[in-house]
Amino acid sequence: MGLLDAITGGGDPAVTAGQQAPDFALPDAAGNTIKLSDFRGKKAVVLYFYPKDDTPGCTKEACAFRDQYEDFKEAGAEVIGVSSDGGGAHEKFASKHRLPFLLLSDRGGVVRKQYGVPATLGLLPGRVTFVIDEQGIVRRTFNSQLQATKHVSEAIAALRGMRELL
C-alpha cells in the first residue's frame, strides 16, 4: 500500500467481488437484531461502512444515499449503513437527516474486521461499500475515504448492471 492509499483508505477490503458476503447480526437504532441473511433470496443489499455519525463526510454520504433511496428500492435493494456508533447516536443521526434506511451498530468493530475494511492512516475507520446480490454474493466493492458521495452513484450503477444480467 502506497502513501496515498494509507491516507485515503485505498487498500482493498478482505471481502471482494465474487465471494459470499459474511453473515452478521447487529442491532439497529431501536435495538432490533438485523441479520444480512434476513435479506437473502429477497433483495440485494448495499452495505456501507462509514466512520462516524454526524461528521461532515459521513453526513454527505448518508444524505446522498437518502436522496437516491427510491432508486435503490426500484433496483430491488436495501441500503444498510454500519459504524461503531451506538443506537442512540444512530437514532439522532437518522432523525436529524431523515434517513429512511437501516443504521447498524458494530460496537467492537467485529463485522468491520470480518469484511476487512481498511483503516485510514491506521486510525480512522474506513469507508467501504459492498453491493451484495440476492444470493448473498458480493458483486462490487468501493473504497474511498475522500469521495464519500461517489459510492452512491457507483452502487446504483452496479445494481442496474446486475439487473441487466438477469
Cα(90)–Cα(80) distance, integer angstroms: 12
Place of cell 480512522: 124
Cα(3)–Cα(121) distance, integer angstroms: 9
| 63 tagged catalytic | no
Read off the DSSP letter of residue 13: P
Within a 10 A sphere around the Cβ of 164, how many other Cβ atoms? 7
Q: What is the sign of the dihedral through the CA atoms of 55, 57, 61 and 67? A: positive
Set 58, 82, 104, 148: catalytic member? 58
Catalytic residues: 58
